[in-house]
Amino acid sequence: MFNSLSDRLTSTFKNLKGKGRLTDADIDATAREIRRALLDADVAVPVVREFIGQVKERALGSEVSQALNPGQQVVKIVNDELVQILGGDTRRISLAKNPPTVIMLVGLQGAGKTTLAGKLSKHLKDQGHTPLLVAADLQRPNAVKQLQVNGERAGVPVFAPHPGVSSEFEAATGDPVQVARDGVAEARNRQYDVVIVDTAGRLGVDAELMEQAANIRTAVQPDEVLFVIDAMIGQDAVATAQAFNDGVGFTGVVLTKLDGDARGGAALSVRSVTGKPVMFASTGEALTDFEVFHPDRMASRILDMGDVMSLIEQAERSWDKAEAQKMAQKFVDQEDFTLDDFLNQMQQLKKMGSMKKLLMMMPGAQGMRQQLEQFDDRQIDRIEAIIRSMTPHERVAPKIINGSRRARIAKGSGVHVSEVNGLLERFGQAQKMMKKMAAGGGGMPGMPGMPGMGAGAARKGKGKKGKAQKPRSGNPAKAAAEMKALEERRQRSAQQATGAAFGRDGQLGQDGFSAEDLNLPKGFEKFLRD
């Protein structure tokens, strides 16, 4: 959504890097570029004028002139002002002291109110609430049916006493005000703690729409009135928001279609013009593509600083903690990273949503946006198909996968052999990196060894040049203790090395060879025991 604005602002700030002092001309040029970027993003002119005034006032003061890095200080000022224009603090739903909490959705037709009702109900249900959806939009064709489908997908009941209209040629019947009133009464009788009322919209603002919405508000006395606005509406967002605020009055704003390619000025304009906070954002078609709007995080995204906090929260919601703990234990035990582990990690990532969206939350993602745009989420499905086409033995010991096995795997997964080769090559690199990281042997620059597995343990008692380690202390008693500890570690390493063989304890099997000769991964001996 904010790609164009983010690119323009990032390019502007690059010109300030490395300057030990900023002149008035530098600040004026920067403010001029920011003004052009905001106007090109469809931000309302009064909002742009106020924003630039605040930035210039702070940038020309001692805050920048006395800074060690004035360029970064200007970026901080722009970030702070963006946070303020987006609402400052995160605004949550105000729950009623005496349930049910009534939430009324208003907005133009096509803004996504009905879809948003399903997303909001699922969001509240996941938080432990018991919501009820009320179908009070009786004039848009199949609006009631759409709400029922969304409610079924979200696992939330829908109160729909009237079917509404099924085509645009059918005259609207039924009283939406009475439906809304009865819906709240139904929630109170059945002890639902939240009611979400979906109301009708129009293609444009008119007196009939405002009157109906105002009558519903009077009838149900909602605790929250959320104005749902299409983020792609452009400059008309300000006039539409002002009309609804004057005609109905709303307490918060919900931005939909933030995953689109529009310039996104609505998000920066509505809050400043109406004084009402943006509370939620819809970022896709799925019911889970819905998030609380955090002004500080959105400002960070616009300035290409990433949104790591949202990424962490999303991971905490979807990541299997037991699976993560199991993987961490394998890491500590220095067990080999297998294709089964790789498949489990891929499945965990799929639960978090689109990989493209996740990567765009990383700092500096705008710089590689072109590569991210070319990324196809279906590649994950193809990788999963390739791994599932392997036998359990092949997943644990991929070195045995020869040419004929690769051809069979490619045929079973419906891909070309080159894709199987590419996956195995990338997996081999990842496996080596995991081994180095676990052993503390320098898999990543500056990466220390894992607890209990120092770099010395990985080298099995060898020094820097392969020589046996000697005691460091000059005290004979301490030196003897150190040598004893080194010898015990060597013995433990030797025992672990001989524990995974045919016939037990590293002895030769009946055919006269040891399983160690097969170079099997650690932990594989459990498949060979009788």
The reply, when asked if residue 353 is annotated as ligand binding, is no
What stretch of H or E contains 227? strand 224-230
Please give the structure tokens belonging to residue 338.
């297998």
The reply, when asked if residue 484 is annotated as ligand binding, is no
Nearest to 158 by CA among 195, 127, 124, 107: 195
The reply, when asked if residue 258 is annotated as ligand binding, is yes
Q: What is the DSSP letter of 106?
A: E
The reply, when asked if residue 114 is annotated as ligand binding, is yes
Which distant-in-sequence residues (6+ apart) come within 8 Å of 433 by Cβ? 443, 444
The reply, when asked if residue 264 is annotated as ligand binding, is no
The reply, when asked if residue 266 is annotated as ligand binding, is no
Q: What dihedral do alpha carbons 373, 378, 380, 381 form, nearest 10°?
A: 180
C-beta of residue 1 within 8 angstroms of C-beta of residue 262: yes
The reply, when asked if residue 198 is annotated as ligand binding, is yes
Which distant-in-sequence residues (6+ apart) come within 8 Å of 513 by Cβ? 502
Half-sphere exposure in the Cβ direction for 263 (13 Å, CA): 18
The reply, when asked if residue 530 is annotated as ligand binding, is no
CA angle 195, 351, 395 (to 5 degrees): 160
Decide: helix, strand or coil at residue 520. coil
The reply, when asked if residue 108 is annotated as ligand binding, is yes
- CA 502, chain centre distance (Å): 47
The reply, when asked if residue 256 is annotated as ligand binding, is yes
Nearest to 163 by CA among 145, 185, 150: 145
Nearest to 276 by CA among 484, 106, 525, 472: 106
The reply, when asked if residue 350 is annotated as ligand binding, is no
The reply, when asked if residue 200 is annotated as ligand binding, is yes
Q: What is the DSSP letter of 468?
A: B
The reply, when asked if residue 240 is annotated as ligand binding, is no
Quote the CA–CA distance of 311 and 362 in Å, as a whole number. 8
Q: What dihedral do alpha carbons 410, 416, 419, 424 form, nearest 10°?
A: 30
CA angle 495, 500, 504 (to 5 degrees): 85
The reply, when asked if residue 395 is annotated as ligand binding, is no
CA distances to 96, 445, 499, 503, 504 from 495, in Å: 65, 31, 6, 15, 11
The reply, when asked if residue 201 is annotated as ligand binding, is yes
Decide: helix, strand or coil at residue 131. strand
What are the binding residues for GTP?
Answer: 107-114, 198-202, 256-259
| Residue stretches of the annotated binding site | 107-114, 198-202, 256-259
